[in-house]
Structure 1
Amino acid sequence: MPIGTKKEVVLLSHPVLLPDSNPESSDFSTHLSRAAALLYAFLCGTAVATVYFSQPLLDVIATEFGIGKAVIGTVITATQLCYALGLFFLVPLGDILEPRRLVTWMLLLSSAALSLVAFAPGATVLFLGMGMVGFLAVVAQVLVALAAARSLPGDRGKVIGLMTSGIVIGILLARTFSGTLADLSGWRTVYIVSAAISLIMSISFVLVTPVARRRSSRISYLKLLSSMKDLFLDIPLLRVRAMLAFFIFAAFGTLWSSMVLPLSSPPFSLSHTAIGLFGLAGAAGALAARSAGRLADRGLGQRTTGLALLLLTLSWVPIGLLQKSLWIFVLGVIMLDYAVQAVHVTNQTMILSVRPEARSRLTAGYMIFYSLGSAAGAVAATFVYSRAGWLGVCALGGGISAAAFLFWAATRKTSESVKC
């Protein structure tokens, strides 16, 4: 056999090893390594955690700045609102700006915002800094789109699952980290340390991320934002999966925003620290994120979605038995969190496979529904609890979950064209 022929056979037997063999990843000369993926996941977790640092610190912050108890809660509202604004105004930039430069600048600005909070001399600067922290925390979503772009098609679900694991763990540990560090060295230390971590992460990110190749087509920023509407009009899959995100995170918000109310009341009368330990059940969500991603890579995304939504609906039965047993309640929490994260990862894997050139906008549009669902669930749960108690909340959560399952069943054919 001629030497040239032998070489051709070797190349064709391993096409996935060629740098440019995947047209979806042609912006990059190298694919995402295992080490880089782990760093991205850690970065996602530390970024999202900054949104939740303030929750256990509100009392001490209110005392230091002389802010009323009724007003200090707006710190959380301002941070979450600015996070939603960041989803719309910042995340789509990943489709037109060089991602290495974009993420690096966002991390540097995030470090500056955290420093502003750490050294805030008064309430006005504090609120401004908190808003900036929330606005820039969406760098986690830019990273999800970037990781999807740099991954091989057969590994995309697994990579997105890893990113989601980082986000879940970041949310899970944020309150514990901030509360513990504040007890040791004061609340300002939390933001000083976080600013330093963000700075270190920006340097690490540059070291593991290649510069993307120049993109052939560019659009203006205003057209970029306007095109998000067109994506929803043109892609039925995005509409379906965004609505599923709204449903599942409305159910998620229903549980996590109201569970403190019965747990802190008789007969339990648990402390806030003890209640916070229930968040450890969220570790199951991180496990689900990775397993769901692998199933999506094997073409089982639809089946995973249906089974997870069924599990989500059933989870409200043990959750509703809170007054009978805390252990049964914990089982229900694990079931709910596992189901929510499984659907979330599957959703992202499917929509990010549709338009490679618009992954950041797809992520932004999808995550806006995530935020709206979480907010709606939180508001509805507290309203229902005040009128119908814990069983009323469970009925609300079960109804939302059942609606999600029925919606998926009714729109399943819309998603079947995507092999995921």
Structure 2
Amino acid sequence: MKSASSKIDASTLLTSTRILLFALSAGVLVASLYYVQPLTSMLAASFGVSVTHAGYLVTATQIGYVLGIVFLVPLSDVLNRRKLLTWMLLAKIAALLLAATSQNIYIFAIASVLMGITASALMVVTAMVASYAPDHSRGRMVGTVMTGLLLGILLARTVSGIVAHISGGWRSVYVLAAIVVLALLLMLRHILPDEAPRGKLQYGKLMASLGDIIRQEPLLRQRALFAGLGLGTFSVFWTGLTFLLSGAPYHYSELQIGMFGLAGATGALAANTAGRMADRGYARQATWLLAIASLAGWAFIGLGAYSLTLLLIGIVLLDVGVMGLQVTHQSIIYKLAPQARARVTTVFIASGFIGASAGSALASASFAAGGWMALCAVGGAMPLLMLLVWGKYSFDQRRLAQA
């Protein structure tokens, strides 16, 4: 049997319009991880728990996402991706409807984990784009898809805040999301190729091969660590922002809190720029600049408790840094092990969202322990650690080159 990739014309599959649809898919799927953030006070009131406890629902979705990345995404290296995506999106719709009908926080938490697991379908889409994209434009194409993903992360807050405000409740957010995912499923089934399987499914060996890839690829290990630190600092901020804005001195509503996603969305422009820089061989320079931007963002965010202007400047800097770094990392890792891009994606994204899960939990814990400044200290430590590791690596590389 010939491989599916030999029968599929990449120029037909990856037209500009379809790349935009894949970017939209990534944004819609990842959004379900973040609808909850501006709704935490409403959920807390609805379920009779504290806002801090409701904040842990963000962690539940991210834990689910890591589970999906680790246990489902590697299947796309061997299975028919059209069928795999179909089943994952149907399960996504069911999870969203379960969330919409939840009567207590425990059912909602289960739905949150399921929403996270099924959101991992977006990485099946990303790995497919990386597989078919030509080498000279892979960074740009993956960067476009990642722009959609990052816009989804940020605008999810705005959308959920607006929908909850207009409808007067949080349940309509998840009903509307289920309808959107159904429409997305129909569009993707229309354009995705019906691939032949690319290998025999031996699930145990497939999972074991993840360890082999980690051992064999030092650059993957490095960039996976950076992904964890980047999404960790990102999650600390966006989980904690609700705590700051819902209390003194702001006392903002869910709608107003959701609108802050628009400020962060300006950072998504960095994703495409970073992809183009990587295609041109400037990944090293981009890593320095974007990590410094992330750290500088926290300096302004720390003063955000006293100044809305400084808070907004910090949001833009942090999001430019984190979003640009994610695409820079992916431009590097997708040059490794071309036959196993879904598993490379699994290692990278799982690391990122382990960091994100830890970040959301640390945001709740640090804010409860020491308020906004304690949260900022935790968030700022992550890009600082990234800079220290990257600096040591760069120094070691120069020393080896001079030896």
TM-score by length of 2: 0.87
Please state how far the C-alpha of 1:349 moved relative to its aligned partner: 1.5
Q: Could you tell me how far apart the structure 2 residues matched to 1:353 and 1:24 are?
A: 21
Equivalent-residue separation in structure 1 for 2:201 and 2:315 (angstroms): 45
Q: 1:197 aligns with which of 177, 180, 205?
A: 180
Choose 69-78 or 398-407, whichever is displaced more: 69-78
Alpha-carbon distance, 1:246 to partner = 1.6
Aligned position for 2:401: none
Alignment of 1:1-400 (within 5 A): 26=6, 28-31=8-11, 32-57=14-39, 68-69=49-50, 75-119=57-101, 126-185=108-167, 186-215=169-198, 217-323=199-305, 325-386=307-368, 388-400=370-382
Greater gyration radius: 1
Whether the 8 Å contact between 2:158 and 2:262 is mirrored in structure 1 is no
Gaps of at least 5 residues in structure 1 are: 1-22
Secondary structure of 2:79's counterpart equals coil
CA distance in structure 1 between the partners assigned to 2:374 and 2:61 by the alignment: 29
Identity between Structure 1 and Structure 2 (%): 36
4+ runs deviating over 6 angstroms: 121-124, 413-416
Shift of 1:257: 2.8
What is the TM-score with the length of structure 1 in the denominator? 0.83
Partners of 2:48 and 2:314 in 1: how far apart?
38
* Structure-2 change in CA distance of 1:327 and 1:132 (3 Å): same
2: CA distance, partners of 1:270 / 1:191: 22
SS of equivalent residue, structure 1 residue 145: helix
Shift of 1:74: 5.4
Instruction: State the one-letter code of the partner of 2:348.
Output: Y
* Distance 1:376-1:123 versus aligned 2 partners, 3 A rule: closer
Q: Structure 1's 327 and 96: CA in aligned 2 closer, same or farther, altered over 3 A?
A: same
CA shift, 1:411, in A, is 2.3
| Residue segments in structure 2 that go unaligned for 5+ positions in a row | 399-403
Superposed CA RMSD in Å reads 3.0
CA distance in 2, matches of 1:411, 1:288: 24
Tell me if structure 2 keeps the 8 A contact 1:168–1:282. Answer: no
Query: Counterparts of 1:78 and 1:399 in 2: how far apart (Å)?
Result: 23
**Counterpart Cα distance in 2 of 1:307 and 1:289:** 13
Check 1:379–1:113 CA distance in 2 against 1; reply closer, same or farther (3 A cut): closer
Does the CA contact (< 8 Å) of 1:91 and 1:360 recur in 2?
yes
User: Do the aligned residues in 1 keep the contact of 2:151 with 2:268 (CA within 8 Å)?
Assistant: yes
Q: 257-266 or 399-408, which moves further after superposition?
A: 257-266
Shift of 1:201: 1.2
**1:191-237 Cα shifts (integer Å, max 9, x gaps):** 3322222222112112222233553x435111111111111101001
Q: 1:232–1:324: structure 2 CA closer, same or farther, 3 Å change rule?
A: same
